[in-house]
Structure 1
Amino acid sequence: MPQKKIAFIFLLLNSIFLNYTFAQKINEVDKIVAKYPKNFATTEKLAERIEKDFNSDYDKARAIYSWMAFNIKYDFNAFLNPPRTQGFSYSTEAEKQRKIKQINDNLIEKTFKSQKAVCEGFTALYQHLTSLVGLKCEIIRGDSKISVRDIGRKTTSSNHAWNMVLIDKKWVLVDVTWGQGYYDSSKGRMVADFSSIYFDTDPDYFFAKHFPDSGSYLGNRLSKEDFLDGPLIYNKTIEFDYKIKSPESGLIEVKRGDKITFEIKNVSKSNQVFYLNKYNKPVKVQNSKEKRGGLEFQILYDANVGEYITIFIDTNSIVSFKIVSK
């Protein structure tokens, strides 16, 4: 899969500007795993430790996610300078499969030993570790929506990978790559910042930011139009279950003087709500009203509003829209 994709660059560069905050609630599984050694001699030793400490399949899958997110870092240098695609020749299908397996095994070993990878390494290692504790796991490749520039994009591209793991007859969505941290453009380096929200993510949130190459999830077709034209949501949106009710589209067609109505669930007047104008200055939302378990408010589209509107709640970026001027 191509690694040098502009979409992920936008994620990294926008993570600071749009105030991504990755610190998450740590559950009991995470607390136990946080005390594990940073290094294990083999993947089998790590799997044995997890099987010893946890009984349920759910906790085992979470423990693998947590250990990887705590210890495996995104390899930004490899992202910028991807190695050449490794080709090989074969004479039979069996030989082809053996060579593919060897390449995958090498990727797993390299990720585990070096403790750094891009998404392909994260997903391969997660699949391998879950298999060692007896769980079925798949690698899914597809598109990622991580920048305001992705709103209204015309086509999808294969620029990311994630996992699905089968737990108690239910497929659980997992993205370990996005759970381990973020890129700090002001410091020019990756920052370790564990996030729990990409383990067992609600599909509605997950597919607002991921679109599989197959275009389907568990046999159900997903809407490419909804993915491409939908608003951009952020980590805190998922963490606090801020459901964006209005506008439904990420593309807002307005003319100067129009008022844009927004409605977000699980927000109240006790929260500070604002947006940034085109001069990057915060503008506090006025005249908001509580409605159906959320908050409704309006923003006047005037000369101070830029190409995008990003709504913030208590300093955290929650949702972005693209303005299409009539």
Structure 2
Amino acid sequence: MKAPVFLLCIVLVSVGVVLKAQVSDFAHVDFRKADSVAALYPNHSLHDLRSLALKLTSPLPTDVEKFRAIYMWTCNNIENDYELYLKNKFERERLTTLEDLKAWNAKFNPTVFDALLNKHRTVCTGYAHLLRELCLRANLTCVIVDGYGRTAVANIGGKGIPNHSWSAVKFNGKWYLCDATWSSGAIDTEQGNFVKKYDASYFLAEPSLFVRNHYPLDSSWMLLKNKPTLAEFLNRPLTYTGIYSYEINQLSPETYRITALKGQPVLFQFKTNGEAPIRSVQLNISRAGNLRVAHPKPYLTSEGLYSVQHTFTSKGAYQVQVLLNAAYAFSYAVEIH
């Protein structure tokens, strides 16, 4: 498996606008066979990618099932390397230009790919590269997309730092988005390790949801007609996998940092396009290390928005996480005056 000179580059591929390119396009496909094929080859060597690609795809009849087997194998057999993650994060936060970033990637990539090849451990560029290389050997079209990933510790306001890579794959003339890194599990920054847990939210994701925490350097890879600006992306509420479960495209307030007055209710609103009803809303409200939980009753407005409100009785800075049916969905930083 040959590593490219650098991974953070703008991919020159014709994209076009694709609306609603998501996993629901394949609602008729039963992915259980693809998943079972992927499970047949735990810890398979990466020294012969052609052999692995053929094992994963030859038993399957359609391109989307073949990609599913490759994706599931990658997510379940490759770990996010915490030490490499920290090193990459530290260096990227010091960079100021794309030229500096390309130079860092050229220096760092040999380490990334050595860990991937020999330890089955890597960072986001390794996940995206492996998907592309396995797809190439299975005659599937898959490319690497580079840009800004938004988490609780990255790209909150400011000018933003290109810090993430994910994938786009093409079926029947349409492009689809996915992120094997985030599907594979999550970095626990408090414990200093990687927690492996497959998350289906980032497999062939709805573009209007995906763009809430993935912003490509080449805006055509949003696969959207109406595209947010980078500033809008960096200042939106933080979102989690709950927005995918309930297809939440509309949030209010639409900025992460909000201000309000002590003793006056703060209104949080959202609109869901999913079929699952919102039975409960939980607010995790933290301030100076103290956590308080509230369970406001949601109500529907005439515009079809779910609404909840909370009144803060003390001045100060709060973090508010909103859980829907016990699933983390979005969060705000609230300053009470």
SS at 2:35 equivalent: helix
One-letter amino acid of the counterpart of residue 285, structure 1: P
Q: Structure 2: any 5+ residue segments left out of the alignment? A: 1-5, 9-29, 92-104
Indicate the RMSD between aligned Cα atoms, in angstroms.
3.3
CA distance in 2, matches of 1:149, 1:157: 8
Give the match for residue 232 of structure 2. 226
Tell me whether 1:259 sits opposite 2:265 in the alignment. yes
Deviations 1:255-314 (A, max 9, x none): 22332222233475632433324221212214x323466531212233177432211223
Contact 1:148–1:320 (Cα < 8 Å) also in 2: no
SS at 1:319 equivalent: strand
One-letter amino acid of the counterpart of residue 32, structure 1: V
Tell me whether 1:308 sits opposite 2:330 in the alignment. no
- Greater CA drift, 167-176 or 221-230: 221-230
SS at 2:201 equivalent: coil
Give the match for residue 136 of structure 1. 141
Contact 1:252–1:324 (Cα < 8 Å) also in 2: yes
CA distance in 1, matches of 2:278, 2:69: 37
CA distance in 1, matches of 2:244, 2:72: 18
Q: Higher relative contact order by CA 8 Å / sep ≥ 6: 1 or 2?
A: 1
Tell me whether 1:163 sits opposite 2:167 in the alignment. yes
Q: Structure 1: any 5+ residue segments left out of the alignment? A: 4-25, 86-99
Cα offset for 1:201? Answer: 0.9
Cα offset for 1:154? Answer: 2.0
Tell me whether 1:64 sits opposite 2:70 in the alignment. yes
Give the match for residue 289 of structure 1. 299
- Structure 1 residues 150 and 185: CA distance shift in structure 2, 3 A: closer
Tell me whether 1:273 sits opposite 2:279 in the alignment. no
One-letter amino acid of the counterpart of residue 146, structure 1: T
CA distance in 1, matches of 2:114, 2:171: 25
**Which of 52, 59, 77 is the aligned partner of 1:53?**
59
Contact 1:215–1:222 (Cα < 8 Å) also in 2: no
SS at 1:197 equivalent: helix
CA distance in 1, matches of 2:75, 2:322: 28
**Which of 80, 86, 98 is the aligned partner of 1:80?**
86
Cα offset for 1:187? Answer: 4.3
Tell me whether 1:120 sits opposite 2:131 in the alignment. no
Give the match for residue 184 of structure 1. 188
- Structure 1 residues 241 and 304: CA distance shift in structure 2, 3 A: farther
Contact 1:141–1:160 (Cα < 8 Å) also in 2: yes
SS at 1:147 equivalent: coil
- Structure 1 residues 72 and 223: CA distance shift in structure 2, 3 A: same
Give the match for residue 241 of structure 2. 235
One-letter amino acid of the counterpart of residue 307, structure 2: E
Deviations 1:103-151 (A, max 9, x none): 9899657524421111111111111111111122221111111017744
One-letter amino acid of the counterpart of residue 158, structure 1: P
CA distance in 1, matches of 2:82, 2:48: 25
One-letter amino acid of the counterpart of residue 132, structure 1: R
One-letter amino acid of the counterpart of residue 125, structure 1: L
- Structure 1 residues 71 and 121: CA distance shift in structure 2, 3 A: same
Deviations 1:38-90 (A, max 9, x none): 314621111111222212111112211110000000111222345xx9xxxxx
One-letter amino acid of the counterpart of residue 80, structure 2: Y
The two structures have a TM-score, normalised by structure 2, of 0.73
Tell me whether 1:43 sits opposite 2:45 in the alignment. no
CA distance in 1, matches of 2:141, 2:109: 17
- Structure 1 residues 173 and 179: CA distance shift in structure 2, 3 A: same
How many equivalent residue pairs? 286
CA distance in 1, matches of 2:260, 2:213: 25
Q: What percentage of residue pairs aligned between the two structures are identical?
A: 23
SS at 1:70 equivalent: helix
- Structure 1 residues 225 and 78: CA distance shift in structure 2, 3 A: closer
One-letter amino acid of the counterpart of residue 184, structure 2: Q
Contact 2:186–2:196 (Cα < 8 Å) also in 1: yes
Deviations 1:185-221 (A, max 9, x none): 5643212111111111111111110111234435965
